[in-house]
Structure 1
Amino acid sequence: MANEKNVSEQELLAKYDRESAYRINVGKWALIISVIAISLTFFQLYTALKGSYVSMIQGAIHLGAGLSLIYLLYPAKRSLIRHKGIAWYDVVLAFLSLACNFYVVYNYEWLTTRALTTGFTTMDIVVASLAIALLLEATRRAVGLPIVIIALLAIAYGLWGSYIPVFGHRGFSWEGLVRRLVYSDNAIFGIPIQISATFIYLFLFFGVMLTKTGIGKFFNDLAFGATGRFTGGTAKAAVSASALQGMVTGSSVANTVGSGSFTIPMMKRAGFRPEFAAASEASASTGGQIMPPIMGAAAFIMAEYTGVPYSEIILIAIVPALLYFSGVFMGVHFEAKKQGILGLPKSELPSFKSLAKRADLLLPLFTIVGLLFYGYTPTYAALWGILVSFLVSLTRRDTRMSIKDLFQAFEQGARVALPVIAACASAGIIVGIVVFTGLGGKIAGGILDLAGGNFFLLLFFTMFACILLGMGLPTTANYVVTASMAAPALLEFGVPVIAAHMFVFYFGIVADITPPVSLAAYAGAGIAKANPMKSGITAFKIAIAAFIIPYVFVYNPVLVLEDATFATFTPVLLTALIGMAAISAAMMNYFIYTPLLIERIGLFAAGILLVYPGNLYVSGIGLVLLVIIGLIQFLRKRKNEPTKAMA
């Protein structure tokens, strides 16, 4: 039965998450795949301990092993994932991927010094051209077609920019372009893959180790123990558990399917509509990517782009994440009140005593957070987190890792990193073209011109671009592209660096719950047997906070701790939280009692006034309006349901 459940989950992931559409039965190649994957993890751990190689060599080894594994694990078409074995041409492509990247490692000195003065050879250009083609095909398989299309358009722009009247440039020859893309540290081997080859890989492996220790199940139990007894307890527990698990997985769809396979049926049994059960799980799972301390992989790249240490970024992200999950939590609460869904009986909830006995499972997280806040590098913190995870697993029989389990974790660490490796390298192509042609500055200027000097329109157009890209790109690639093209426009308007980058980061993430391409909601709908589009629309309503919060912290950067003091920060946070409650009540169509249309409009207006940044007078008007609506609803509820109103 358990095996059937795993297959079902895998099929669902493969359907909605391109990153999970890998071969189920690789046949005789299983050993080769294991050797490459385990070797890659060993390489990452070794260089983390002893120090990384120069960026191009580190990146080439990282990318070469990653691409070879993609060709061995991901078939050319999704329909082939159940076929046994690996096609001969995929083996050839895997070998060529290793060979092209080994060529960079072996000829590094020539490619980066003498070739720049004496000229690149024909072989250099052939290998570079083949490397680009192999990367794009591997990315199509592991990540999806949209990012490949954008990369190809970028390459076309690089070649024929002189023929483009708007945003044009002098253009590059094929030789000039491919050598810049492959044989420099500004494109394929630029910042995205450099971060992937160091921090990101280690944190993804850390997530695998946390899963192996059973911390995922502990998060579920912790969430149910804390919230399960309250109104709508199953949904609140699902939101809490997904927030905690999202810190580890960093994937909206994977988290939705992983935790949703348990929480969604439970929510349905409690009385929640299938669409709502799917939507609440998807909303919470998507928010996991903005939940400190791990967040999504893009957070590490943000640290490099902004120059803000990662330890500070996770501190800055706490308040936006708190507002997001408060909005989702309140949306669930109001829906439960409207439907009359109560909490779970105490007998069905884990006891405090049983949870306390497993409190040591939180040690890996405490270790990594503590080291980051004490100023240690992410690499050092991740290494210690991995070690503590292993040691914690030894303390009890059901989590104790054998040598076989450890090697399986090493292999799984490489597997979960493959889509990130491909996405970072392909995003590097796009960023490289942007840098080489000056396109970033031109687009930033274009957005400013389109907005006509109107700050709100500038934010709106930037939001639209981020969501549109996010519908086709994974979060990491989306952030890399928008940070290069859209964020500079915000910076030119005087938005603080961290606020601008958090703005594009947020809207790239919420694309997973934005109709019509809300993949996380669609995955949840598959488990709930619900209508996918209705689930997507409901997820949008539940997570409405995510579409408002970025505007709030851009207009008032105190929420991302920019020049924040207790006196300036506290009132803004409190009014924002109350505002989120009012907006959630309006979206869920319930506050103290089912509102009339005019009351619902008033609730939304009160919420907007409360979150209106930097003006306590305006927020005060919103608070008064909210109190009036609440009083009116209370009196109407007492009149219509006197017994319940007095309870």
Structure 2
Amino acid sequence: MSHPEPTQSPVIAQGVDDEPLTPTQRDLRGRNGLVFAALCIAYTLFHILVMNLFPMETWAYRLIHVTGGLVIGFLGYSALTQSDEATGAAGKLSDRGMPEKALLALALAGVGYAFAMIAYAWLGRWFAGMANPSAFIFNSFGIPLLVGTIAALVAGWVYSGRDRNRIYEGDWLLGIASIAVLGYILFVVGALRLRAGTGMAQPGDMYAAIAGVILILELTRRLTGLVLVVIVSVFIAYSFLGPWLPGFLNHRGYNASRFFTYIFTDQGILGAPIAVSSTYIILFIVFAAFLQASKVGDYFVNFAFAAAGQARGGPAKVAVFASGLMGMINGTSAGNVVSTGSLTIPLMKRVGYPARSAAAIEATASSGGQILPPIMGAGAFIMAEVTGIPYTEIVVAAIIPAVLYFISVYFMVDLQALKLDMKGLPRSELPKFAVLVRQVYLFLPIIILIYTLFAGYSVIRAGTLAMVSAAVVSWLTPHRMGPRQILHALDLGARMSIQMVAVCAAAGVIVGVIALTGVGARFSTLLLSIADQSQLLALFFAMCISILLGMGMPTTAAYAVAAAVVAPGLVSLGIPVLVAHFFVFYYAVMSAITPPVALAAYAGAGLAGSDPMKTSFEAFRLGLAAFIVPFMFFSSHELLMQGEWIDILHVFVSAMLGMFLLSASVIGYYFGRLNIVLRAVLLAAALAMVDGGWLTDAIGLAVAAGLFVLQRAMRGQRVNAT
């Protein structure tokens, strides 16, 4: 490391929030790169302009949002894992084998014919005033579109090659197929609103919807893997297999026409998840892109290192703060682990944390970012959309649970450092706090966002002002954002949002199935019958289902599904809507660190070189507070800012003490090392403090004080013995 000038400060974080390439992501250069960047910039600008200046009809806007995401996704992500070393892997088209040529020819013929028919219909409307084309046009395009789409998919799965720098021909055709689906549905959208999901649905409606669902599932597979695709496929199969299923899963079943046309409405794919994705989520992802392009994200991490890097276990404490903050903004646990963890995990290992603990701390903090207001990784926006509760009320309710979670993780990190006698990083290697504090204005975008939200501005207006302020603030730094950097941020925003588009569209399929089959209502009945035996047992069952539904799924999709399946059942138990949705939201988020499918923990294990399963159990242990807090605010609504201030303060203070006792029990260190018996006693005291009643608080405090006296006495005996 070079020696800084006296007026400078050592920089420990550079590009910490840069988006690493995923296994299937392309790295396009040259002409393809320019075309792709132009599409991304146009996609982002379209959303910003529509949200702020030129409102559009809801269905049309959401359809364009989904289709644009599909086109960019198929061009930017391959069907196969890519390699940086591979070049020209697929070769020229003339060099391909006959099976590949046949598949591509079939795909071109089918997709090309469908696109031509849709284009003919639109040209007739625009230039000849034809309200509707001849029946042949819309009766003949469906099967070719479906066959061509499937042929392009299969060609991509088998032949698309490993070169990050080229776009496979079949993926261009999938982009065109996406546009054809959009063109048809937009053309008939008025009539489709009335006939979708009924016996009046036309064959063209069904084929376009089937092709659209296939395209969404394929893009989801490329971006997130098979887990979400399998879950969506199970729900689709459930719609057809209902008559043969037992118990509360039984329903009458639906034919393909009714099912698929219903799914492509605002009850399914164009429903709440995409409503939020096309407004709040993409806006705040672009805000995150502006922070990234202006290097404000680096400042956040450097500020954390300057403040806490020298403390015992300093890098772990930095991870708790910085990863939580960045995770709040970027909305994905595993992605945040990869970006910030590439810096914090090696530094945690350097000061003495075992590789498993370093990875688990990063995963736990990054996942906690999803519950941290005011953005909450987009979860707050979906909750507001689904429940109708004002966004600001949700943000206020989230404050105390988030503080309890992060203070618990901080206590565990600190106690583990104390137990293992760890030190921090040398002050000479850390950024100078006195220098960074003079740049505290770089927090202005976050401050402006919070102020405008609570000053009564709409979420969209507040997000837009915060985004603009990030660009303006950059003018006070060496990373001044000019036109080129702003275009880069717009480009980056689109690239970062594609996963959310695919995930929300896929989650919309699940939400549509739940609405169509009524399984959510039957699940509510099941919860009511369990609650007759024990309400606590019903809550435990709801917790398990929320975690199970979220395993392997991105946070946003996990909550959207849990909100549709589990939350109505909790409301039917008499639990307030806000409490019920926070309950399932927490467990959907924490599925990212819950074994056996813990995506955030697995991402951290990959960086730390630790065992993925052991890391996931360690992350589960460190994040234990998040599994207890929902039961806390179920029994004490004051933790969600419901009630009198004196009661809120009492419950908050007792819960904080409970979190410290819980952390000490989990780590095995209180005011000295604890054996297994004393850990169990301290855990009981922690749970007593968690309950929130005066009597249980007194019991918990008495046990904690008694244990403190016991440990001090034992320490005194050891000192006297020496």
Into which bin does the TM-score normalised by the smaller protein fall? over 0.9
Q: Which residue of 1 aligns with 2:214?
A: 133
- Give yes or no for the alignment of 1:416 onto 2:419: no
Q: Which residue of 2 aligns with 1:632?
A: 710
Q: Distance in 2 between matches of 1:412 and 1:71?
A: 16
The alpha-carbon deviation at position 603 of structure 1 amounts to 1.0
SS for the counterpart of 2:533 is coil
Instruction: Kindly state the Cα deviation for residue 501 of structure 1 after the two structures are TM-superposed.
Output: 0.5
Stretches of structure 2 that go unaligned for 5 or more consecutive residues are 2-13, 83-160
Aligned partners of 2:16 and 2:339 also within 8 Å: no
2:461 aligned partner: 380
Identify which of 22, 41, 55 aligns with 1:14: 22
1:18 alignment counterpart: none
| Contact 2:185–2:205 under 8 Å retained in 1 | no
Bigger Cα displacement from structure 2, 151-160 vs 335-344: 151-160
> 2:623: which partner in 1?
543
Matching residue of 1:228: 309
Separation of aligned partners in 2, 1:202 and 1:416:
11
Out of 530, 538, 544, the residue aligned to residue 610 of structure 2 is 530
Aligned to 1:561, which of 633, 636, 641? Answer: 641
Which of 667, 679, 688 is residue 588 of structure 1 equivalent to? 667
Aligned residue type for 1:200: I
2:360 corresponds to: 279
* Match 2:257 to one of 170, 175, 179: 175
After superposing the two structures, state which structure 1 stretch, 502-511 or 231-240, moved more: 231-240
Q: Give the match for residue 680 of structure 2.
A: 601
TM-aligned CA deviation for residue 252 of structure 1: 1.1
Partners of 2:552 and 2:599 within 8 A in 1: no
2:548 is equivalent to residue 446 of structure 1: no
CA deviations over 1:374-430 (Å, ceiling 9, x no partner): 121110101111111111112222x21232222121111111111111111111111
Question: Would the aligned equivalents of 1:23 and 1:81 in 2 still touch at CA under 8 Å?
Answer: no
- Report the equivalent of 1:610: 689
Cα distance in structure 2, aligned partners of 1:82 and 1:519: 26
Deviations 1:204-227 (A, max 9, x none): 111111122222121112222322
Report the counterpart of residue 622 of structure 1 in structure 2: 700
Aligned equivalents of 1:411 and 1:641: distance in 2?
64
Asked if the contact 2:198–2:258 (Cα under 8 Å) also holds between the matched residues in 1, the reply is no
> Between the two proteins, what is the percent identity of the paired residues?
38
Deviations 1:444-476 (A, max 9, x none): 212333454311111111111111122121111
Deviation at 1:307, TM superposition (A): 1.3
Cα distance in 1 for partners of 2:660, 2:516 equals: 47
Q: 1:324 aligns with which of 388, 402, 405?
A: 405
In the aligned structure 1, how far is the partner of 2:702 from the partner of 2:669? 18
Change (3 A) 1:115 1:489: closer
Structure 2: how far apart are the matches of 1:469 and 1:114?
32
- Counterpart of 1:34 in structure 2 is 37
Segment of structure 1 superposing worse, 602-611 or 353-362: 353-362
| CA 1:281–1:114: 2 relative to 1, 3 Å | closer
Q: Deviations over 1:250-273 (max 9, x none)?
A: 221121121111111111111221
* CA–CA separation in structure 2 for the residues paired with 1:605 and 1:396: 51
- Residue 335 of structure 2 aligns with which residue? 254
Residue type at the aligned position of 1:56: W
CA distance, structure 1, for counterparts of residue 721 and residue 509 of structure 2: 66
TM-score, scaled to structure 2: 0.83
Offset at 1:27? 6.4
Instruction: Render the CA deviation track for 1:468-502: whole Å, top value 9, x for unaligned.
Output: 12212111111111111111111111111111101
Aligned equivalent of 1:75, options 75, 78, 90: 78
SS of the residue corresponding to residue 259 of structure 1 reads: helix
Q: Is the 8 A contact 2:521 2:568 kept in 1?
A: yes
Structure 2: how far apart are the matches of 1:535 and 1:139?
26
* 1:166-565 equivalences in 2 (<5 Å): 166=247, 167-182=249-264, 184-397=265-478, 399-562=479-642, 564-565=643-644
Find the counterpart in structure 2 of residue 143 from structure 1.
Answer: 224
**Is the alpha carbon distance of 1:389 and 1:620 closer, same or farther for their aligned partners in structure 2, counting shifts above 3 Å?**
same
Separation in 2, partners of 1:279, 1:113: 51
Evaluate the alpha carbon distance shift between residue 10 and residue 372 of structure 1 in structure 2; reply closer, same or farther with a 3 A threshold.
Answer: closer
- Secondary structure of the 1:317 match is helix
- Looking at structure 2, the residues matched to 8 and 313 of structure 1 have their Cα atoms a distance apart, in angstroms, of 27
SS at match of 1:297: helix
CA contact (8 A) 1:146 1:472 kept: yes
Question: Counterpart in 1 of 2:653?
Answer: 574
Cα deviation per residue 1:576-617 (whole Å; 9 max; x = unaligned)? Answer: 11111111111111111111221111111111111013x110
Q: 1:255 to 1:117 in 2, by over 3 A?
A: closer
Over 3 Å counting, the alpha-carbon distance change for 1:7 and 1:260 in structure 2 is closer
Q: CA deviation at 1:642?
A: 7.0
Structure 1: give runs of 5+ residues left out of the alignment.
16-20
Distance 2:197 2:580 in 1: 37
CA distance in 2, matches of 1:6, 1:630: 45
| Post-superposition CA distance 1:103-142 (Å, at most 9, x none) | 2223323333588999443323221221111111112212
Preserved contact between residue 61 and residue 105 of structure 1 (Cα < 8 Å): no
What letter matches 1:61 in structure 2? I
Counterpart Cα distance in 1 of 2:691 and 2:587: 19
In 1, Cα distance between the equivalents of 2:359 and 2:374?
26
TM-score, scaled to structure 1: 0.93
Quote the Cα distance in structure 2 between the aligned partners of 1:608 and 1:137: 46
Change in Cα spacing, 1:446 to 1:26, as seen in structure 2 (3 Å) is farther
Q: Return the offset for 1:70.
A: 1.3
Aligned CA-pair RMSD: 2.5
2:245 pairs with 1:164: yes
Show CA shifts across 1:66-107 (max 9, x none): 011111122112256654412211110111112211322233
Task: Look up the SS of the partner of 2:376 in the other structure.
Answer: coil
Instruction: Answer whether contact 1:287 1:321 (CA < 8 A) is retained.
Output: yes
Of 316-325 and 355-364, the range deviating more from structure 2:
355-364
Distance 1:116 1:324, change over 3 A: closer
Aligned residues: 632
Q: Structure 1 pair 472/524, CA: closer, same or farther in 2 (3 Å)?
A: closer
Runs of 4+ in structure 1 off by over 4 angstroms are: 5-11, 25-28, 79-83, 113-118, 641-644
Provide the C-alpha distance between the structure 2 equivalents of 1:116 and 1:149, rounded to a whole number of angstroms: 24
Which protein shows a greater Rg?
2
Aligned mates of 1:641, 1:304 — CA distance in 2: 61
Aligned mates of 2:613, 2:667 — CA distance in 1: 17
Name the SS for the 2:377 alignment partner. coil
Deviation at 1:181, TM superposition (A): 1.4
Question: Residue 178 of structure 1: CA displacement?
Answer: 1.5
- After superposition, the Cα gap between the structure-2 partners of 1:7 and 1:141, relative to the gap in structure 1 and judged at 3 Å, is farther
Equivalent in the alignment of 1:24: 27
User: What is the alpha-carbon distance in structure 1 between the residues aligned to residue 257 and residue 407 of structure 2?
Assistant: 53
Q: What is the CA–CA distance in structure 1 between the aligned matches of 2:539 and 2:199, rounded to whole Å?
A: 47
SS in structure 2 opposite 1:14? coil
Aligned to 1:314, the other structure's residue is in SS state helix
Aligned position for 1:65: 68
Contact 2:197–2:261, Cα closer than 8 Å, also in 1 = no
8 Å contact from structure 1 (residues 278, 528) kept in 2:
yes
C-alpha spacing 1:506/1:108, structure 2 compared with 1 (3 Å): same
Q: Which amino acid aligns with 1:171?
A: G
**1:41 aligned partner, one-letter code:** T
For residue 643 of structure 1, report the CA deviation from its aligned partner. Answer: 12
Relative to 1, partners in 2 of residues 1:81 and 1:557: Cα closer, same or farther, differing over 3 Å? farther
